[in-house]
Structure 1
Amino acid sequence: MSGSSAPQRDVVGVASVLADALPALYRALDRRVARDFPHPKPPEGHLNLLRYVAEHEGATVRQAAEALLMKPNNVSALVSQLTGQGLLERRHDSTDKRIVRLHLTPVARRRLAEVHALHVGHLTGVLRALTDGELDALGSALGALVSLTHGLRAAQH
């Protein structure tokens, strides 16, 4: 399907299937990870914040809130919880002591790596059961899914 040349009913049909399939895929994967994670699995909001800080070491609460499409006071509450659990550290900026920067602890890095490994492991197992054609189709669709994600994020700004 190429942009404006795709029939409208095809676009709506694809949107409908994605709207149903993506949450179901996420829930199934989340349940498998929760079952196999050797620690209490953090809520998705906590994981999202930890992932963001892992990718943007030294980010501020405001930056994290904007990136995660959350209110700063909600992110601040998450930061307090994660700091209390020993997963995040707040460090004052070296040039402006009024600014607090967020950093993962070594424990958080290990736990994020464990969750990622479980995600990859479960998906790998299921992907191996697909036909070559199904696997090729999914591989071809990955770029489109990334573009779709960027488009949805951009529409919210």
Structure 2
Amino acid sequence: MEPETFPEELADALVGVQRLIRRRLRPQMADPPLRGAEVELLRLVVGRPGIGISDAAKDLYLASNSVSTLVNQLARQGYLIRETDPADRRAARLLPTPAAEARLGEWRKRRADLVRGQVSRLDEADREALRAALPALRKLAVHLHEEAEES
């Protein structure tokens, strides 16, 4: 692999793996189907219950009105609770429902099972190469997040 093509090839590989995981799991999941942004918002709210809409928008790099629309959709589907923030009655806090936590838990379990099965098909050298790459991939994610926050 040529050094100048490595970044593009890495990005393509990461996107490709993520896309294929979603495509394989989507048909197995309960209805209604959730779009990527809806799943990202649910993950954020499950990880940070009580987060406000503007903070969620910042974390997801979306406009507040877009997050508000997602919140309304997810609340109608029974996945989010939007309540008034007692510290600022003009703001809302977002809380996951048990249905949201169950759905994300099921997604994570199925995703782990799928990846575990596919990784087991690789030879030991490839499995070790993936294990060794994890710290660098995590650092890459941190750098991308930090740079996005700075801009």
TM-score, normalized by length of structure 2?
A: 0.92
Structure 1 distance, partners of 2:31, 2:75, is 17
Identical positions, percent = 33
Paired position in structure 2 for 1:67: 59
Structure 1 distance, partners of 2:74, 2:34, is 10
Unaligned regions of 5+ residues in structure 1, if any?
Answer: 1-8
Give RMSD over aligned pairs: 1.4
Structure 1 distance, partners of 2:12, 2:90, is 45
Can you list the C-alpha shifts for 1:4-38, whole angstroms capped at 9, x where unaligned? xxxxx954332121122111111110111112213
What is the deviation of 1:94? 2.5
1:12 aligned counterpart, secondary structure: coil
Structure 2 distance, partners of 1:17, 1:96, is 47
Structure 1 distance, partners of 2:2, 2:143, is 19
Structure 1 stretches of 4+ with a deviation exceeding 4 A read none
Q: Does 1:111 align with 2:103?
A: yes
Paired position in structure 2 for 1:57: 49
Paired position in structure 2 for 1:152: 144
Paired position in structure 2 for 1:6: none
Structure 1 distance, partners of 2:116, 2:30, is 20
Paired position in structure 1 for 2:121: 129
After the TM superposition, which residues 5-154 of structure 1 pair with which residues of structure 2 at under 5 Å, given as runs?
A: 11-154=3-146
1:102 aligned counterpart, secondary structure: strand
Can you list the C-alpha shifts for 1:53-90, whole angstroms capped at 9, x where unaligned? 01111000000000011111100110011111111001
Structure 2 distance, partners of 1:12, 1:147, is 20
